[in-house]
Amino acid sequence: MHPAIHLKNGMNKTGPMDPKKQILDRIRSIRQAPKPYPPQAIESQETDLVEAFTGMVKLSGSTLLRFEDQQTMIDEFVKSGHPVNEWVSTWDPLISMGASEAGKFTDARKVISCAVLPGKFGVAENGAVWVPEEAMGQRTIPFLAEHLILIVHAKDLVATMHQVYAVNQPGSYGLFIAGPSKTADIEQHLVLGAQGPLAHTVILLG
């Protein structure tokens, strides 16, 4: 038999098969019975979401600041000597004060000293903040900033990550962000900022 028709030897009738296509075709040919999602953990109705969220944020190595409302946060935090004109943000109040719009940031080589992004939900079980794509400006912003500040409202705290997934559209992009970048791969020595922000602050409003 002519070698050009030996399908099992990486050949087809017209010539050698692309190895990548060959692997993908084999994966696609696998048929498995659908498996149900694991059961959702039973949520305690007695959990103080603010207290639990605050504890987990601090445990993750982040700083948590709480303000009564947006204007108090601006007056007591933003206007306390911070170089807002060096910040990158998608939050309209900061942009109106001179911060650069994150959506217009195109040079990944430029150092971002601080990025301030609004979060949609805060998760009490692990201190993570869900940041949807539209709140990032660009997907790279949360990773390029040396200091990442996330703003979340107390009314938007939920107990578990399951609750965040339940209200998000399937396939929508976003990030659960908890704490600064951390790694301890080398000699179990903790290093901050190796793959992302060196510092992380969560501002809780309300």
16-61 pLDDT per residue, tens: 678 898 898 888 888 888 887 667 665 656 679 999 999 999 998 8
On the question of pLDDT at 5 being above 70, the answer is no
What are the tokens at 169? 């559209």
Mean local confidence (pLDDT), 165-191: 82
What was the pLDDT predicted at 41?
Answer: 63
Helix, coil or strand: residue 31: coil
Query: What is the rounded distance in angstroms from the CA atom of residue 87 to the CA atom of residue 115?
Result: 6
Average of per-residue pLDDT across 71-83: 86
Cα distance between residue 128 and residue 175, in whole Å: 9
**Mean pLDDT along residues 5-10:** 47
> What's the CA gap between 192 and 103, in Å, rounded?
26
- What average pLDDT does the structure give for the chain? 84
The two tokens of residue 49 are 């979401």
Confidence label for 105 from pLDDT (cuts 50, 70 and 90): confident
170-192 mean pLDDT: 83
How far apart, in whole angstroms, are the C-alpha atoms of residue 129 and residue 176?
Answer: 5
Give the percent of the chain with pLDDT over 70.
85
- From-to residues of CATH 3.40.50.10420 in the chain: 49-205
Instruction: Read off the pLDDT of each residue in 108-118 and give the average, rounded to a whole number.
Output: 85
CATH code 2.40.50.140 for 49-205: no
pLDDT of 103 reads 79
- pLDDT value, residue 65: 95
